[in-house]
Structure 1
Amino acid sequence: MAMAAAQIRIGISGWRYPPWRGSFYPPGLTQARELEFASRQFPSIELNGSFYALQRPSSYGRWAADTPEGFVFTVKAPRYITHVLRLRDARAAIANFMASGPLALGCKLGPILWQLPPSLAFEEALLDAFLGHLPHDTEAAARLAHEREDRMRGREWLGPVAPMRMRHALEVRHASFCQPATVALLRRHGVALVVADTAGRWPEVGDVTADFMYLRLHGAQELYASGYSDAQLAAWAGRIRAWAAGGVPPDVRLLCAEDAGPAAMAARNVFCFFDNTMKTHAPGNALTLARTLGLDAQLHISA
């Protein structure tokens, strides 16, 4: 039986940025149609408003309706869980998040991104307990959503859901996570370790801890602001090709160099998002990287 081809999705983090209007977005395009336009340029977008506050089910439904068939959102989990609770006693907050509407995206729901604050150090027992709460399919997520707090009553979405896998990715920003124990723990829970290019500010490691990769490119020299040269994009294209082919690039830092983890695969899906969004670099960089990878008109490779 032939193995499925890798699915590579190159996209952007968010879509509502005033500097993009009249440059990436055509002059005269209304703000209400920006997602419609952006989702025809990229096969995936990080939904990051959910990081700052719980969104409403009606918003998720509208975003799903505005995007084409085959499009996928990744959803950034609330900073209340990662930055305020700092992963402690987080089950109720995770239930509230699951009830707030991401499941209403249906087949357009991609991985959930959990971005940790730079001040949060590695605690194995804490991270293990937190990861143990994360649902790995939509049915488990819907059951967890039923545990939402009373304040969610009347503004929740509880299904029904179509059975579907749920994936999670963790972006770490404290150097104490740079140890084999982090890799072992994420592999045990099937959670991807985010490969984050942060202009040297936070750790960048490339260990494979799940059956997909999640990359975030925050800026080559200046966080969130600077762009990537063609040579730098070509280098990232080479890494993505290696991960997509089931291997590990030779030029990435590994915490567990003695093995490649879940790497004995014919193909591995890769998500890559440009978060250098403060200026106008992100859309152009994403389109250039897609062309370098041979992704025709940003159409993802069929799996």
Structure 2
Amino acid sequence: MTGRIRVGIGGWVYEPWRGTFYPQGLRQKDELAYLGQHLSATEINATYYGTQKPATFANWAKAVPDGFQFAIKASRYCTNRKILAEAGESIAKFTGQGIAELGDRLGPIIWQFAATKAFDRNDFAAFLKLLPASVDGMPLRHALEVRHASFDDPAFKTMAQQAGAAIVRADHDDYPAIDGLTVGFSYLRLMHARDNEATGYAPSAIADWAALARDRAADGDVFAFFISGAKVRNPAAAQALTEALG
């Protein structure tokens, strides 16, 4: 069965999007609902920096339509540490903060590692064992964004697959473009948007990413997010990819 392809951006509060993506005069509290009408996913960045209240997740879920999903960026206290095997308490705090309140709007959790974090086979294996399969009865999907070339290793790919975790495919000059093994869903982060392109990416590049997303959808759901780069262009890029996907 072909998976669903969801396309989005990182976050939804960004002043330069007002008047370029959001209509002039739209209230800030209505921006998430507007995004939900025009895209099918977004990454929650606030969870990377601090804990949120269960009611906050519930309100976010109410603001968007059926089918929309939030990817959640894991707390930096889980991933920005010397010994990942010692992250258990931070992981429990992060997953237990109320993310289950998103209900069927809950997408994958993205665990982002620093570019200086190299692959340590034993430590990373211990970290993966700490990732819960569910929280409050809600199944969890995990995506790993690694940024050090040492992770481009068959051992890491096998380890991630055995844990059921997707490896994020990054479009970035400085991060390895690692294609993970099949785990039932895929996660793309596209970080090359340019100011001189109205849609961030050239039409040919949009077509190429649409083709890759369709190919990945044969193995399950696909999440594609336009992140950083020329950030002001990311909503237009996400809309262009959505249109290219039909």
Contact 1:191 1:209 in 2 (8 A): no
Measure, in 1, the Cα distance between the counterparts of 2:42 and 2:64: 10
Greater Cα shift, 100-109 or 182-191 = 100-109
2:196 aligned with 1:196 = no
TM-score (norm 1): 0.76
Seen in structure 2, the aligned counterparts of structure 1 residues 209 and 186 have a Cα distance that, compared at 3 Å, is farther
Q: How does 1:118-267 map to 2 (within 5 A)?
A: 118-137=115-134, 141-142=135-136, 163-198=137-172, 200-220=173-193, 227-246=200-219
Measure, in 2, the Cα distance between the counterparts of 1:128 and 1:135: 14
Measure, in 2, the Cα distance between the counterparts of 1:110 and 1:190: 15
Measure, in 1, the Cα distance between the counterparts of 2:43 and 2:169: 15
1:147 is aligned to none
Please tell me whether Structure 1 or Structure 2 has the larger radius of gyration of its CA atoms. 1
User: What is the Cα deviation at residue 54 of structure 1?
Assistant: 1.4
Measure, in 2, the Cα distance between the counterparts of 1:59 and 1:84: 27
User: What is the Cα deviation at residue 40 of structure 1?
Assistant: 1.0
User: What is the Cα deviation at residue 59 of structure 1?
Assistant: 1.3
Seen in structure 2, the aligned counterparts of structure 1 residues 14 and 71 have a Cα distance that, compared at 3 Å, is same
Measure, in 2, the Cα distance between the counterparts of 1:85 and 1:177: 16
User: What is the Cα deviation at residue 220 of structure 1?
Assistant: 5.0
More helix by share: 2
Secondary structure of 1:5 counterpart: coil
2:13 aligned with 1:37 = no
2:234 aligned with 1:282 = yes
Contact 1:227 1:276 in 2 (8 A): no
User: What is the Cα deviation at residue 221 of structure 1?
Assistant: 6.5
2:113 aligned with 1:116 = yes
1:270 is aligned to 222
Measure, in 2, the Cα distance between the counterparts of 1:20 and 1:232: 22
User: What is the Cα deviation at residue 125 of structure 1?
Assistant: 0.9
Measure, in 1, the Cα distance between the counterparts of 2:102 and 2:149: 34
Deviations 1:30-80 (A, max 9, x none): 111110110111111111110111112221111112112222111000011
Measure, in 1, the Cα distance between the counterparts of 2:153 and 2:61: 39
2:67 aligned with 1:70 = yes
More strand by share: 2
Measure, in 2, the Cα distance between the counterparts of 1:76 and 1:209: 21
- How many residue pairs end up in the alignment? 243
Secondary structure of 1:70 counterpart: coil
User: 1:81 is matched with which residue: 73, 78, 82?
Assistant: 78
Letter in 2 for 1:216: R
Deviations 1:83-104 (A, max 9, x none): 1465231111111112211111
Secondary structure of 2:139 counterpart: coil
Measure, in 2, the Cα distance between the counterparts of 1:209 and 1:116: 21
Secondary structure of 1:112 counterpart: strand
Contact 1:25 1:34 in 2 (8 A): yes
Measure, in 1, the Cα distance between the counterparts of 2:15 and 2:83: 32
Measure, in 2, the Cα distance between the counterparts of 1:209 and 1:53: 31
TM-score (norm 2): 0.93
Deviations 1:257-286 (A, max 9, x none): xxxxxxxxxxx2111011036542111111
Measure, in 2, the Cα distance between the counterparts of 1:278 and 1:52: 22
Measure, in 2, the Cα distance between the counterparts of 1:17 and 1:278: 12
Seen in structure 2, the aligned counterparts of structure 1 residues 100 and 278 have a Cα distance that, compared at 3 Å, is farther
